[in-house]
Structure 1
Amino acid sequence: MYEPTLLQRRYRVMGNEAPLFYDQPLTFVKGEGVWLTAEDGRRYLDVYNNVPCVGHCHPGIVAAMQRQAAQLNIHTRYLNEQVVAYAERMTALHDDPLDCLMFTCTGSEANELALRLARFVTGNTGVIVSDYNYHGNTRSLAELATAMATSEAFSAQARAVPIPCLYRAPAGTLAQQLEDQYIAHLQAAIDSLKAQGTPVAALLIDTLFANESLPRVPAGFVARAAELVRAAGGVLIADEVQSGFARTGEHLWGYQAQGVVPDIVTLGKPMGNGFPLAGVVTSREWVERFGHASMYFNTFGGSPVAAAVGMAVLDAIEDEQLQANALNVGRYLQERLLALAERHELIGDVRGKGLFYAVELVQDRQRQVAASAEARQVVNRLRDQGILISKIGPHDNILKIRPPLVFAQAHADLFVDTLDRVLTTL
Structure 2
Amino acid sequence: MNKQCLIIGGGIIGLNIAYYLYKEGHEVTIIDRNDFSSGASFINAGYITPSHFIPLSSPGIITKGLKWMLNKNSPFYVKPRSDMDFIKWAWSFKRSATQKRVDQSIPAILKINLMSRDLYQAMKESSDFDFEFNQKGLLMCYKLAETGDEEGEVAEIALKRGLKVKHLNKEELKLLEPNVDFNVNGAYFYDSDAHMTPNDFMRDMKAFLKKQGVNFILNEEVEDFKINSGRINTVKTSLREIPADEVIIAAGTWTSKLAKKLKIPLSLEAGKGYSFNVEKSTGISIPTILIEARVAVTPMNGFTRFAGTMELSGLNERISKNRVETIANAAEGYYKGLKIDEEDISNAKSGLRPCSPDGLPYIGRSKAVKNLIFATGHAMMGWSLGPATGKLVSEIISEKKLSMDINPFSPDRKI
Structure 1 length normalisation: TM-score? 0.21
More strand by share: 2
- Structure number with bigger Rg: 1
Structure 2 length normalisation: TM-score? 0.22
